[in-house]
Structure 1
Amino acid sequence: MKKKILVGAAILVVLAAVILTGVLVVSKYLVGGEKRTRDKWEVETGTYTFTDDEINVQMYRQPVEASIEVAQILPGEYEQEGFTYYDEEVQQRLAQSLMTMMDRGGFTISEPLAVLNPFGTGSNGLYLYFTTDYNCQIRYTITTDDESIPAYTATANSAQEYGKVQEFLLIGLVAGQENQVTLEAVNKQGEVKESFTFTIQMPETTSGHANRLEATEGDSTAEMSEGLFYAMGLSDYYGYTFFFDNDGILRYEMLLDGYHSDRILSLGDQILACVGSNKIARISRIGQVLQVYDLGRFELHHDFNWGPDGELVALATNTEGETVEDQLISIDMESGEVTLLVDFSALMNDYFVTTEKVAANSSFFWQAGLWDWLHLNSVQYLEEEDAVVVSSRETSTIIKVKNVHEEPAIDWMIGDDAFWEGTEFAQYSLTQEGDFTPQYGQHDVTVIYDDSLPEGQYYLRMFDNNYWANSTRAGYTPSLPDSVGQALTEDESIVSHVYYYLVDENAGTFQLAWSFDVPYSSVVSNAQLLEGGNYVVNSGVPQVYGEYDAEGNLIRQFQYHSMMNGYRVMKDDFVGYWFR
């Protein structure tokens, strides 16, 4: 009997080891997917017409069923291993092919030059070009036979506000549906001078993502803001950014080389986005990649933002180093030169050397074997002080570093001061004023200046995950209230928050100025303040994002689906880029 028990126990141990190994393998594969480069660009072609041998671009017609002529242009090597659309030379050839078609002339509102996804960067983007005999704007409305999909109306951003040359990317076509598009030429007096309607059958999404999300109404009766939500870093949809309207309809599927966009920065009629694990791209309003910034040995990690004039700053991993997710780099927007600004393992060496690699049985088991001792997840540059404010998930600490271009030094730290007690970094901890639970595992920390505050005071807004875990500091166990989550998965007894801290650098203090509760998410997530006063909040683990009114009351919430979680959802009206 004893022998049978021992054998049974041994079998259970083996099974547990096999299960743990399987979990680790799957987790590593899913997390590794964030860094992988797209291995192929799936393109459904129309009827082949010819190849422009001079620039090696293939021409097709009617890649989709439509009541107008629709063209398609593809680089001759698009099926070859290692091909990417995020290559400036490839993009220049496609632009040249487009210009050759435009030069034929004779295109009108009823017979436009129409090219499906001409630059490979948006699967359901339709490029339109034509001229009019009068100065106008083009307003368009998209409907489908599905009555549950509301009509979508926008004014296209062409080369001029009111002009005779109309060139734009039509945004809003619904994947998997026959779309009816009505173009209206509107003059400065608001009169519709001419209109034309055509139909186009759009294929299913390239990613396989659904073309709509489930929406739930909140208690607030406030109006939602105009614009498109854009969802980044959905765990089994790396290599895509999805743009949804206020009804949860997918209006644009942006194709990346891999990774996710992190955030989208507006540069007039261009945008900047992360398009691969070590690439940032500048993209025109018609989808052309104008410049690619290759980060070389650095891999992006979760955020990039404006730096001083002519620079970007980004959080990164040095792939030639021992550690991960603890570097701050800058990118010169003209030359593309990449510079290491802060190596936090050097800046905080006295703490760093006390840490260890993530273990297989830790809270962040999917990072087993990695030295993820700090895990930076958001960055904002403060130009007047040549400083950055960064968020460290692993230490549940917000850190301000000054003089980042000269001699980086810690200015202050905000978090549970007990974590740093007994270390040399305790001297930098700002003092908490008031009775509240400080942030744990926070994301998306943003500095907000307010003219009504005296000099030296400002606000910090963040998504407070309200989740404690640390996988790299053995022997430290915090004293936590029951209101702080310690479960990675959903926990109905715990909430996350949007937190506003009032920071007083003169007094060396911080206090909770305002907060509101949001669905609990142990990791990832973000909170964005929109221009009109509403908030967009993404809770990535339960896979929901919502728009909230200025008092923090939910207006509408959307449920999305991914294998693990969704990193960030933000919103923009894209006026000046896609729209007028």
Structure 2
Amino acid sequence: MKSNGILLALAMSSFMLTTPVVMLHEQSKTVLAQKKNGNAKKTKLSDSQIIKNLGVKKVANPSNDALTTKYANIVKGQQYTWENPYIKVNPYENSPLTALMIFHTDQPTKISYRVIGKTANTTIKNEVKGYQTNHQVPIVGLYAGYDNSVEVTMTDQFDNKQTKTVKIKTANLPKWIKSFPINVTVKDKTKMSLGSNELTVLNRTTKQTFAVDGDGEVRWYYLRWNEHIFEQLNNGHILLFNKIKSGDEKYNMLVETDYLGRVYRQFSFDKTLGGSYAGTAGLSLVHHDVAEMPNGNWLLTVDDGSKYVEDTIAELNPNTGKIVKVIDFKKIFPESMYKKSKIKANDNTSSGLGLMDWLHINTIDYDAKTGNILLSARNQDIIWSMNYQTKKINWIFTSKPAKEWPSSFHKYLLKPSKGTKYPGGQHGIYLLKETGSKLDILLYDNNIAVTNGDKKQSGKFSAATEYQIDTKKKTIKQVWSYGKNLGKQNFTEVIGYAQRLNNGNTLINFGFKNTGKESNIIEVDAYGNQVFNLTITNSPKDMTYVYRAYRMQFYPDNYVFDATK
């Protein structure tokens, strides 16, 4: 007993010595954060201060550029032929299920290829634009750990064709994919919207992104860690938000790349964003969404560096690397909305700055026809439209009663028809079509009453929902929905997405199913019949649940790879 008493005394003395050290460490992080960001206690900042806080810088990528130069020299050397082409698997060392083929022909010819699928409706077909003599063929959609058969066809200007099959062997899937089982229970590929080259992108909340075919087989993956952002641009490139190294503290690099992994442009942000996230890890500074504008600029959902997070959007000119405009929604909505909110930011406990997340913008969609933007904010259970240039609100849809809005906002509030459900904690709003004064929009309704949602139905189901809005009459009606019949088992408190596909089907990502242990991606036809059902096991600890699932072309028709440019 005496020895136990000594051990207890030692343990107590150790606790008394170490506990203040831990407390001092946390306090020092808070002091450091405050020193880094004197704005973190402020409510509203000037536009110039927000731009300064973002700290955007264009970043070179010499190793990537060196590979591009290498391939450009091979093209210019004209040493490889149709009979003996140059083929490099994983040409940029971060996209292992792709390859680059280079060869020269004396006469201009056009090249197409087919990566032969293992089963029906899994072959990936692509064509390189135009007739050329120096050929650079980006091959995507290879199987992992497999000796792929790629059928290449060369067509001259007189429509004479030559076809041959090349074998391309790839490495096995990495452990981080194999350790999360993919289970496909429904796959009616004849009714799925697959086109000639479409895959389902599983864009996870953290870590690596990958894509699967109609069988659930992985046909593309990207080695850089990515968070939230995966946007296909008009030039066929993709926009991601990366950690350059997996051990980096934050996701901090906005990257324009392609499916081969070639980096065209990348931009870093202030690692503390004015200090708001000092002492935290794994957070994305461009936090939820991006949208490409007709002028080629990118709209980003960002933090402004003040006391309030995720309530600001910024426009980045990728040609100059400059932020050219910001909109802080504390300056748009009534002051009471953020002052009365008690929702703390996710980083609150570790930064010690007491940051608040009153709005939580999770979607931005730009309408090129009107110049309007659609936005969704989870923590107010609200969707709205406003003109981007004038900042004039067009309409608002929320269950927050009119009496709780200033009278000047009453004219914006949409009146729902009978049977139309208010969304709660929703994600992924975007415009489907526009006919006169009527808009059709699609969103993923998490159906959780965060602040203003439907408390009676909250938590019972989640659903993809289509609404039609009459902007003149200021009315809204629900015209289609899927998910209620699945009940609570497919309820997702956070994240999710819905995409209307080319054949009229809808792809729905129940990303946080079973409290994040699973993500369930379902494709249904217009009548709610399932034609595809995939479930992937996640690691809630590492937040590897699927943030959004997209059906995308690998690659679109307007994409051109050219190492010489």
Taking the aligned partners of 1:153 and 1:211, their CA distance within structure 2 comes to 24
Aligned to 2:87: 114
RCO higher in structure (CA 8 A, sep ≥6): 2
* Cα shift at 1:547: 1.8
Aligned to 2:214: 246
- For the 8 Å contact 1:265–1:273, the answer to whether it is kept is no
Matched to 1:113, the amino acid is: Y
Taking structure 1 as reference, are residues 374 and 151 closer, same or farther at Cα in structure 2, changes over 3 Å only?
closer
Taking structure 1 as reference, are residues 87 and 209 closer, same or farther at Cα in structure 2, changes over 3 Å only?
farther
Matches within 5 A, 1:147-226: 152-158=122-128, 160-175=129-144, 177-187=145-155, 193-205=162-174, 207-209=176-178, 213-217=182-186, 222-226=191-195
Aligned to 1:508: 474
1:127 equivalenced with 2:100 (yes/no): yes
Matches within 5 A, 1:445-484: 445-451=429-435, 455-470=436-451, 480-481=455-456, 483-484=457-458
Matches within 5 A, 1:52-451: 87-132=60-105, 135-142=109-116, 152-158=122-128, 160-175=129-144, 177-187=145-155, 193-205=162-174, 207-209=176-178, 213-217=182-186, 222-226=191-195, 227-235=198-206, 238=207, 240-256=208-224, 258-260=225-227, 262-275=229-242, 277-284=251-258, 286-296=260-270, 297=273, 299-318=285-304, 320-348=305-333, 349-358=335-344, 370-402=355-387, 404-406=388-390, 408-418=391-401, 421-424=403-406, 427=410, 428-451=412-435
1:545 to 502, 505, 521: 521
Taking structure 1 as reference, are residues 221 and 345 closer, same or farther at Cα in structure 2, changes over 3 Å only?
same
- For the 8 Å contact 1:154–1:579, the answer to whether it is kept is no
Task: Look up the SS of the partner of 1:449 in the other structure.
Answer: strand
- For the 8 Å contact 2:438–2:470, the answer to whether it is kept is yes
Taking the aligned partners of 1:416 and 1:264, their CA distance within structure 2 comes to 31
1:572 equivalenced with 2:552 (yes/no): yes
Matched to 1:99, the amino acid is: A
- For the 8 Å contact 1:523–1:541, the answer to whether it is kept is yes
Matched to 1:214, the amino acid is: N
**CA deviation vs aligned residue, 1:348-392 (integer Å, no higher than 9, x gap):** 2232111234299x9x99999541111111111234544322101
Taking the aligned partners of 2:192 and 2:317, their CA distance within structure 1 comes to 40
Matched to 1:352, the amino acid is: Y
- Is the helix fraction higher in 1 or 2? 2
Taking the aligned partners of 2:202 and 2:351, their CA distance within structure 1 comes to 24
* Cα shift at 1:541: 1.2
* Cα shift at 1:338: 1.1
Aligned to 1:495: 461
1:529 to 500, 510, 524: 500
- For the 8 Å contact 1:441–1:523, the answer to whether it is kept is yes
Taking the aligned partners of 1:113 and 1:576, their CA distance within structure 2 comes to 23
Report sequence identity in percent.
Answer: 18
Matched to 1:460, the amino acid is: I
Taking the aligned partners of 1:480 and 1:196, their CA distance within structure 2 comes to 60
Taking the aligned partners of 2:350 and 2:503, their CA distance within structure 1 comes to 39
**CA deviation vs aligned residue, 1:261-302 (integer Å, no higher than 9, x gap):** 523223234333334544333325643211224444492121
Task: Look up the SS of the partner of 1:93 in the other structure.
Answer: helix
Taking structure 1 as reference, are residues 326 and 174 closer, same or farther at Cα in structure 2, changes over 3 Å only?
same
Taking the aligned partners of 1:184 and 1:306, their CA distance within structure 2 comes to 34
Aligned to 1:490: none
Task: Look up the SS of the partner of 1:225 in the other structure.
Answer: coil
RMSD: 3.6
Aligned to 1:19: none
Taking structure 1 as reference, are residues 336 and 209 closer, same or farther at Cα in structure 2, changes over 3 Å only?
farther
Taking the aligned partners of 1:201 and 1:294, their CA distance within structure 2 comes to 32
Task: Look up the SS of the partner of 1:274 in the other structure.
Answer: strand
Query: Unaligned stretches of 5+ in structure 1?
Result: 1-24, 26-84, 471-475, 486-493
- For the 8 Å contact 2:205–2:228, the answer to whether it is kept is no
Normalising by structure 2, what TM-score? 0.73
**CA deviation vs aligned residue, 1:514-560 (integer Å, no higher than 9, x gap):** 22226322210111111221211111012011222233321011111
- For the 8 Å contact 1:358–1:365, the answer to whether it is kept is no
- For the 8 Å contact 2:233–2:292, the answer to whether it is kept is no
- For the 8 Å contact 2:121–2:189, the answer to whether it is kept is no
Task: Look up the SS of the partner of 1:97 in the other structure.
Answer: helix
* Cα shift at 1:203: 3.5
Taking the aligned partners of 2:370 and 2:416, their CA distance within structure 1 comes to 24
Aligned to 2:282: none
Tell which deviates more after alignment, 439-448 or 199-208: 199-208
**CA deviation vs aligned residue, 1:419-454 (integer Å, no higher than 9, x gap):** x64242762422222134311111111123343xxx
- For the 8 Å contact 1:538–1:569, the answer to whether it is kept is yes
Task: Look up the SS of the partner of 2:449 in the other structure.
Answer: coil
* Cα shift at 1:96: 1.3
**CA deviation vs aligned residue, 1:121-149 (integer Å, no higher than 9, x gap):** 41332222123455242423346xxx7x7
- For the 8 Å contact 2:96–2:171, the answer to whether it is kept is no
Query: Unaligned stretches of 5+ in structure 2?
Result: 1-25, 27-57, 244-250, 275-284, 514-518
Task: Look up the SS of the partner of 1:181 in the other structure.
Answer: strand
- For the 8 Å contact 2:505–2:523, the answer to whether it is kept is yes
* Cα shift at 1:223: 4.0
* Cα shift at 1:173: 2.4
- For the 8 Å contact 2:448–2:455, the answer to whether it is kept is no
Taking the aligned partners of 2:404 and 2:476, their CA distance within structure 1 comes to 21
* Cα shift at 1:204: 2.9
Matched to 1:545, the amino acid is: I
Task: Look up the SS of the partner of 1:559 in the other structure.
Answer: strand
Aligned to 2:33: none
